[in-house]
Amino acid sequence: MKKWLPLAELVLIVCLALFPLAGAVFPYRLNIFLSYEGAYRLYLGEVPYKDFGLPMGFMYWVIPALFFKLFGPYMISLVKAQVFINIVSGLAFRSILKSFGVRPGIRFLSVLLFCISYSFLNYWPWYNHTVIVYELVALAFLTRFFFTPPEQKKRTIYLCLSGAFVFLSFFTKQDAGAMGFLVCVALLAYNSFRERKWLQLPLFLASMAVTAAIFVVPFLKYGFGYWFNYGQPPHTSRFSLADFTGEFFNSSQWLKFYFFLILFLLVATTKNFRALLADKRRMIFILLTLGMLTEATIFQVTSYIPPDNNIFFHSFAFAFLLVWLADFLPVNWEAPPALLAGMAGIMLWWSSVYWKYLEKYIVKPSTVQTSSDVVTKNTYLIFKPDSSDVPMSEWRTIPLPAFRKMLLPGPTVDGINRIMQMNEVKKRDAKVLNMTELTPLAREIPFTLERGSYYPLWYHKGVGMFQKQTDMFCNRIKNNYYDLVLFEYIPYLNNFYPFQVRDTLLQYYQRIDTFTAPRKPSLQAWVEVYVRKK
């Protein structure tokens, strides 16, 4: 059994990553518009900061853009890109455990947990996930560096690659990238002190600096300093001690539970702390696990959408706890009974991830008629007071290539069909402003995207654009610059699309159509269609 486990890990990583491609259709996901927009612009050959501005690095869009080149600029290509990203993340996590010499049975169970709890959920790319994947690759190279014999020349290469990927993580998203950098620095500081070799950290920093120069210097002349967010105006910082402590002490149950278990086990089982400090493999594993838990604690506040961004910490804590307890438990982790019990426990623990796919095939739906005389869990409510969604049964596909295999609310599909029949979109070189989540319309209408170092990649005020850009759009609307404007009105979100632009549109343009936006709650957001006043 033991010799088959490494192959089983690879099969598990690849198969669970490929699983989403077996799906016939995919519901349109919140914020996926941004994944498409950035990848589409890179696919067209546009240059970040020169042709469009964004408050972070552009590494998140590189892989989706590559898949646009391979498979076409379609939404389904984003799913294929995420398959690749999930495979890379699984292999990186596996490599980290291999570097620590985690025994095959525990490693297999940890990889299973990582795939089912973290990768399987992500079938759409999102920068809050990709930033962690680059970090995992950096940690895989760094742990390989720690445990490669010093006489091997490739050891230095591993260290340099780790520094390079830490920067790529930072150039995907600043918060997690910076925390990943600090985790690596802490590990290198311990290892340098233990080995009395002080060039490790400088070499790591030098590799980061060289990578940063390659990716940043060419763009400095295009307003990089204005767009890239390091806390300077017009940007604002998301770091708040009050938010961190409030989130941690008011919730974060799993994080606190893992901190408690790890610290308790360290104190209860360690007889000689000096010997523990000298144990390189154990100390680096401890520092890495505590570092990932700390990063997850901060990341849940700085990157709060979606709320499961930080669940990578489960896999690190789980692996550490099993490795630590293995010395005290008389368990053969490679024996079938232990493996099957571990697998069953993990699948039970994370059943919410996959049960929605199996439920309709395993459990027959209730045949009880809804009536005033039959009250059950399924019938005690006539309707949910806060329900404002178009039921999924009323979502459907639309026969446009860029939206292939995508499910959208029925009213959204009808609205897109009406747009495609408008004279304004049939006009050659029509000037279109699309402030909606329907970014693939740029491909389907088609229309030319506006470019310039002053132009934002997306329109979330205070995040992706600022007052300077808001004024620009308002002035263009006042001057009847656009033939067609699509504006998504989401009153419950704070300037997700600037309200000031909508106010200007209502004053200077004519609203000719309104339909449901492709989001949840779908009946509280609308796509509004504006044309010049006759």
Q: What is the mean pLDDT of residues 25-29?
A: 89
pLDDT at residue 436, as a whole number: 97
Tell me, yes or no, whether 315 and 401 share the same domain. Answer: no
Tell me, yes or no, whether 312 and 453 share the same domain. Answer: no
pLDDT at residue 150, as a whole number: 85
Tell me, yes or no, whether 173 and 53 share the same domain. Answer: yes
Instruction: Check: CB of residue 172 under 8 Å from CB of residue 35.
Output: no
Q: Which two tokens stand for residue 417?
A: 């069909």
pLDDT at residue 381, as a whole number: 60
Q: Which two tokens stand for residue 356?
A: 């929605």
Mean pLDDT in the chain? 92
247-303 pLDDT, tens per residue? 899 989 999 999 999 999 999 998 899 999 999 999 999 999 999 999 999 999 988
Among candidate residues 307, 340, 355, the one where a domain is terminated? 355
Tell me, yes or no, whether 52 and 158 share the same domain. Answer: yes
Note the pTM of the prediction, 2 decimals.
Answer: 0.94
Domain enclosing residue 72, as ranges: 45-222+246-355
In a domain, 446, yes or no: yes
pLDDT at residue 442, as a whole number: 96
Distance CA 433, CA 75 (A): 20
pLDDT at residue 291, as a whole number: 97
Q: Which two tokens stand for residue 398?
A: 């639309």
pLDDT at residue 386, as a whole number: 57
Instruction: Check: CB of residue 200 under 8 Å from CB of residue 286.
Output: no
394 vs 139, which has greater pLDDT?
Answer: 139
Tell me, yes or no, whether 347 and 402 share the same domain. Answer: no
pLDDT at residue 309, as a whole number: 82
In a domain, 32, yes or no: no
pLDDT at residue 404, as a whole number: 92
Among candidate residues 332, 355, 378, the one where a domain is terminated? 355
In a domain, 78, yes or no: yes
Tell me, yes or no, whether 329 and 472 share the same domain. Answer: no
The tally of CA atoms less than 13 A away on the side-chain side of residue 127 is: 29
User: Does residue 498 have a pLDDT over 60?
Assistant: yes
Tell me, yes or no, whether 443 and 323 share the same domain. Answer: no
User: Does residue 364 have a pLDDT over 70?
Assistant: no
In this structure, of 175-189, 346-360, 472-486, 506-520, the range with the lowest mean pLDDT score is: 346-360
pLDDT at residue 523, as a whole number: 76
Instruction: Check: CB of residue 126 under 8 Å from CB of residue 171.
Output: no
Number of domains into which the chain is organized:
2
User: What percentage of the chain carries pLDDT values higher than 70?
Assistant: 95
pLDDT at residue 445, as a whole number: 94
104-126 pLDDT, tens per residue? 999 999 999 999 999 988 889 99
Tell me, yes or no, whether 101 and 194 share the same domain. Answer: yes
Bond into 20 cis (ω within 30): no
Distance CA 338, CA 333 (A): 6
In a domain, 85, yes or no: yes
Q: Which helix (H) or strand (E) holds 513?
A: strand 509-516
Instruction: Check: CB of residue 303 under 8 Å from CB of residue 309.
Output: yes
In a domain, 384, yes or no: no
Ramachandran area for residue 179 (φ above 0: left; ψ -120 to 50: alpha; else beta) = alpha
SS3 for 232? Answer: coil
**What contacts 238, CB < 8 A, 6 or more positions away?**
175, 301, 302
In a domain, 336, yes or no: yes
Tell me, yes or no, whether 210 and 310 share the same domain. Answer: yes
In a domain, 232, yes or no: no
28-81 pLDDT, tens per residue? 988 899 999 999 999 999 999 999 999 999 999 999 999 999 999 999 999 999
478 vs 122, which has greater pLDDT?
Answer: 478
Among candidate residues 306, 333, 355, the one where a domain is terminated? 355
Tell me, yes or no, whether 337 and 210 share the same domain. Answer: yes
In this structure, of 149-158, 204-213, 338-347, 394-403, the range with the lowest mean pLDDT score is: 149-158
Tell me, yes or no, whether 167 and 307 share the same domain. Answer: yes
Distance CA 402, CA 382 (A): 38
pLDDT at residue 387, as a whole number: 60
In this structure, of 32-41, 346-355, 397-406, 519-528, the range with the lowest mean pLDDT score is: 519-528
Looking at residue 522, its amino acid is S
Q: What is the mean pLDDT of residues 190-194?
A: 94
Tell me, yes or no, whether 342 and 467 share the same domain. Answer: no
Residues of 424-454 as b/e, b for ≥16 C-beta within 10 angstroms?
bbeeeebbbbbbbbbbbbbbbbebebbeebb
Instruction: Check: CB of residue 37 under 8 Å from CB of residue 439.
Output: yes
In a domain, 83, yes or no: yes
